[in-house]
Every structure is written in C-alpha cells, then in structure tokens.
Amino acid sequence: MMMSPCNAQHYEFLATTYDQHWTHSGTFVDWMTRKIMESLALRPHHRIIDVGCGTGLYSRRIVDLVRPENCILCVDPSAAMLGRLGSTAGVRPVLASAEQLGGELPDFAPLNISPGSFDAVLVKEAIHHVAPSDRAPTVGGLGNLLAQGGRLLIVMLPTRIRYPLFTAALEMFEELQPDPEEIIGHVRRAGLLARIEYHEFALTIPKDRYLAMVRGRYMSLLSAFDEGEIEAGIREIDAIHPEQLLSFPDRFAFILGTRLAPTR
Ligand SMILES: C[S@@+](CC[C@H](N)C(=O)[O-])C[C@H]1O[C@@H](n2cnc3c(N)ncnc32)[C@H](O)[C@@H]1O
C-alpha cells in the first residue's frame, strides 16, 4: 500500500524544514544515532536498510560514523523527503513504502533486495504510518530480509508522551499511536528473538522555537489541525508554560528482533 494522500502532503510540506526541527539540539541526533548503532551492533561490512528514512537524517550520521562498505538503502514513499538526500555519498535512495519492501519484492530485484540479504534493518518513527492490518505482514517481510544473525530495529514513541503539546494533540496522539507491545508481538511472530528497551533523552528547547515547530507541524498528527486550531493550540501551550525554556523527556521504545535461524 502506498502512503495516504494526507501523509504524502504532510511530508511534502515538511521535507524542507524537517532537519532543522531535529537539529535544535545538536546532541539529540548524535545521541539517537549512537543508540541505533549500539542496538544494531553496526559494523562497516554490514548491509543496512533504513525504512521510512525520511531525509536520511540518521543514515547520513551512520555513514559518517560507521563508514559502511555498501551504500545504506534509504527507503521512503515520500519523494519530497527522499529528495533531501540529494547525492549524499554512502546512501542510495529507494522510493517505496515499508509495506512494499516487506511484500513480495517483485520490483526490487535490480537492487539486490532479496530474503536473507541484510544485516540490519532500521525502521525509525515510521511504523505508525503502516495501517494496523498491514503491520504483521510488513514486519514479517522486513524480518525475512535479514541474514542469520541480522537485526531489525523498530524505534517508536510509546503510547503516552510528555511533550508540551496542546491537549487535543496529545489526545489524538494517544488515540493513534500503536502500542510497542503490539509491535514486539509482530516481531516475535516473524520468528525473531525479540526484546524491548526504553531510552530517554532530556530535551531543552527555547519555547519560541518549540512553538515554531508546532506551527511548522513537526509531527505528522499536527497536520490534522487547521491553522486556527494550531494557533489556538500554540496559545494554550504558551499559557501553560510561562517559562522561556521547555524541558521534557523524549522517550523511545527500541524494539529489537534478531534472526537466529536462516530465512526459509
Ligand atoms: C517521522 S518521519 C521519520 C523519518 C526518519 N526515519 C527520522 O527518524 O528522521 C516518518 C517517515 O516515514 C515515511 N513513511 C510514511 N508512510 C510510510 C510507509 N508506509 N512506509 C515507510 N515509510 C513511511 C514518511 O514519508 C516519513 O519520511
């Protein structure tokens, strides 16, 4: 299944500013990249796929830090997000969804994407875009891409977040966000040895900057609110937080699946 028109529009709008939103704290992206590298135990000889890679914010750091011998396959269904990769060395853009990649693979033969051919598959903050009914086959298909000993890492937010968002946005998040426990179930059923860890980063962002991020709809769920609702939400945040610096924990579930037996 391709991306919903709503998501496609959202990421087209977000593509040019996405990296700025996340580089507000130079240390956050480095912290996250290192956690990903540790979880996947990345080594230069590993063949790596970044599914839902967006602008390649993390793949580009992995290229700098790990120096993989093979290009990282950066897969995303948004041409606008993928376009931000430009001609970055060490990455190869692939316009596709997680569902397509985890499916029957008819279109991927020229890219050498075949069962058992990867050591690391990363899905960071993209699994929520896969429809609930497609999650099990998609996770199963992504698991099948792994060689023996290969790892699938799904990084996602938990069902409750402590972001200084307005109430309606927080409620919508809780309604829509999949439960990491559901996702680890799919990883187990895919035949992988699965575990879940939570990692937390203490963020501090100047309030003006955070409000600009909300106005820029830095999270996809914010695209469900029209301009008037966003402005009302910003006033609500401003009123609840008189402080000029917003401090809050950003907590992530790291779901790791390891393929112990070869793919059949
Ligand atoms: C929140 S961004 C995360 C991007 C990147 N992984 C990161 O952490 O910076 C979500 C990304 O998922 C992509 N996406 C949306 N639907 C998808 C799908 N069905 N399969 C894979 N990726 C999808 C979007 O285009 C977007 O680039």
DSSP 142-181: HHHTEEEEEEEEEEE--SS------HHHHHHHHHHSPPHH
Dihedral sign for Cα atoms in the order 158, 128, 77, 39: positive
Q: Which residues of the chain have pLDDT under 70?
A: 1-6, 21-26, 104-107, 109-110, 263-264
pLDDT at 13: 73
CA dist., res. 176 & res. 141, Å (int): 23
Distances (CA, A) of 2 to 25, 90, 142, 193, 249: 32, 26, 16, 29, 33
- Minimum CA distance residue for ligand 1 atom 8: 124
> CA-CA distance, 147 to 151, in Å (whole number)?
8
Alpha-carbon dihedral angle through residues 166, 171, 177, 181, given to the nearest 10 degrees: 120
Nearest CA to ligand 1 atom 14: 52
Using the mean position of ligand 1's atoms as its centre, give its distance from the Cα of residue 53 in Å.
6
- CA 8 to centroid of ligand 1, rounded, Å: 10
Say if CB 156 and CB 252 are below 8 A apart.
yes
* 9 CB near ligand 1 (under 6 Å): no
Residue-level pLDDT at 5: 63
- Ligand 1, atom 26, residue with closest C-alpha: 54
Ligand 1 center from residue 178 Cα (angstroms): 15
Class of domain 5-160+177-200+252-258: alpha beta
User: Atom 27, ligand 1: which residue's CA is nearest?
Assistant: 54
Mutation pick for ligand 1 pocket among 3, 55, 57, 95 (CB with most ligand atoms within 8 Å): 3
219 lines ligand 1 (CB under 6 A): no
pTM of the predicted model, to two decimals? 0.94
- Rounded CA-CA distance 173/170 in Å is 5
CA dihedral over 32, 35, 36, 37, signed as positive or negative: positive
From residue 96, alpha-carbon distances to 77, 81, 90 in Å are: 4, 12, 19
Provide the residue ranges of all domains of the chain, joining segments of one domain with +.
Answer: 5-160+177-200+252-258
pLDDT at 43: 98
Give CA–CA dist 65/136, Å, rounded. Answer: 32
Q: What is the dihedral of CA 149, 48, 156, 148, to 10 degrees?
A: -10
Half-sphere exposure of 84 (CA within 13 A, CB side): 23
251 within 8 A of 162, measured Cβ to Cβ? yes
